[in-house]
Chains A and B, each alone.
Chain A
Amino acid sequence: MHSDIGKEEAMNLNLLKTYLKLMLIRNKLNYLLIILSIIAGYITVSVVMVYIDNVLILSSESIYPDINYIYIGIRTVLIIGGIILIINQYYNIMKSGLRDYCILKSIGATRINIRILILLQVACLLVISIPVGLYSGYLLSNLIIDSLGSFSLNSETRELIDSTETFFVAAGIAFCVISFSGIYIERGIHKMPLNNILSHQTTVREAGLL
């Protein structure tokens, strides 16, 4: 009997290629979920800003002099909510990969191997999800705002929504959130006793990821 793997194919397998395959196949649904989260976050923040402009600022500026503070507060809450949503999605991705990291550790993956794998996952997320999610969110939110013809828009808000700076600030926030949560989770994995995973007893809490 002969092996059905060709020699050339077998010899071409390398660490980076295998890691990339692992990351891309495993996370295809997760990438979509993160993209959708970013789109939803972007649209929510933009549309709520327009709504606040109309309901609170334009109509009530004379009645509530401190309305700008409320406005900033609501916007902050929305942004924090969006960040939590992304962290939650990212956390679920890492949780789903925990078992595989432990299998790899058991067959000889060093700390560096695991770190590269996690950072590669972060890089894939950054390269795929953030540009696609933010740009789609930007286009869709503009489309929605333009279709709300009956709403008038504060010129500052219009500028903020249209500005490319907003786009890059949002990308920067998403970048920081995903990078720091990646580093945090990677540190947690190394604290985890391998014995627990091998015995199928590990919970994420035990792993120090919470």
Chain B
Amino acid sequence: MTMIKSINLRKTYQNTDEFIYALFDCNLEISDGEFVIISGAKKSGKTTLLHLLGGFEKPSGGLIYINNQNISKYDEDELAILRRNEIGFMLHNDSLIPELTVHENIIMPLILAQKKYDENYYVELADQLHISGILNQYPKILTTNQLRSVAYARALINNPNIILMDDPLNDLYHDSDSESLDNLLHIISKYHKTLIMATNNPEFGSYANHIIRLRDGVVVEDRLT
């Protein structure tokens, strides 16, 4: 089943008196449960594509369908509700709110949605990501790896169908990073989520089953593995 579809997707930015194409006529189809890697050099448009698919930005042209809903014309609040219900976005490591505990950070999407959470799912997430022992701690005392795991848990807590990750391991890559990512992939595969990751790291190629490569805002490769 097609989860995400884009038709002639474009994004332009205005730089003084000229328009710059960050993305040009991008046509994609991403199915339910796929692990998609969006790769490309810096400034190739991969983050822009990820943000458009996640409803963080509005396209300059073209259409985006998520679960057969055309989100291109959604207003700010409709996009916020889409992000809340359908999309888990893994921001950078420092994206936790320092004044809230790990537990509060994780369940913040649910607090915003005024939803009760599935306690079994929550405990399973915490156990799988090895953060059960730090739920009452504040982010400032956590290690980078723990921060990352908490961010994974927050992206997953609202049980979204789509997980977006923007260069999740952009800093130094250690074995422990690989372990936390393995844990995440295990959860994603168990719950049959669609994962879309923008990265330059070739190590992820072996995990993915759909690779999209961008160059100067144009899709130059789109293949299933």
Say whether A and B bind each other. Answer: yes
Q: Which residues of A does B touch, CB under 8 Å?
A: 1-5, 7, 10-11, 13-15, 18, 21-22, 25-26, 100, 103-113, 190, 193-195, 198-200
List B88-114 residues whose CB lies under 8 Å from chain A: 89, 91-92, 95-97, 99-100, 103-104, 107-109, 111-114
Is there an interface contact between A5 and B83, defined as CB atoms closer than 8 Å? no
Is there an interface contact between B76 and A190, defined as CB atoms closer than 8 Å? yes
Q: Determine how close the nearest CB of chain A comes to the CB of B54; give it in whole angstroms.
A: 9
Is there an interface contact between B77 and A110, defined as CB atoms closer than 8 Å? yes
Q: A2, A107, A108: which contacts B123 (Cβ < 8 A)?
A: A2
Q: Which residues of B does A touch, CB under 8 Å?
A: 47-48, 51, 56-57, 76-77, 80-81, 83-85, 89, 91-92, 95-97, 99-100, 103-104, 107-109, 111-114, 116-117, 119, 122-123, 126-127, 132-133, 135-136, 154, 158, 166
Is there an interface contact between A5 and B103, defined as CB atoms closer than 8 Å? yes
Give chain B residues whose Cβ lies under 8 Å from the Cβ of A104: 97, 108, 112
Is there an interface contact between A108 and B97, defined as CB atoms closer than 8 Å? no
Chain B contact residues: helix, strand, loop or mixed: helix
Complex formed: what's the CA distance from A7 to B47 in Å? 38
Is there an interface contact between A10 and B103, defined as CB atoms closer than 8 Å? yes
Is there an interface contact between B56 and A195, defined as CB atoms closer than 8 Å? yes
Complex formed: what's the CA distance from A68 to B77 in Å? 55
Is there an interface contact between A14 and B56, defined as CB atoms closer than 8 Å? no
Give chain A residues whose Cβ lies under 8 Å from the Cβ of B116: 11
Q: Which residue of A lies closest to B56 (CB)?
A: A194
Q: Which of A5, A26, A105, A110 has the most CB of B within 10 A?
A: A5
Is there an interface contact between B108 and A110, defined as CB atoms closer than 8 Å? no
Complex formed: what's the CA distance from A195 to B48 in Å? 8
Give chain A residues whose Cβ lies under 8 Å from the Cβ of B108: 18, 104, 107
Q: Determine how close the nearest CB of chain A comes to the CB of B158; give it in whole angstroms.
A: 8
Is there an interface contact between A198 and B83, defined as CB atoms closer than 8 Å? no
With A4-B136, A107-B109, A190-B76 in contact, is A200–B97 under 8 Å at CB?
no
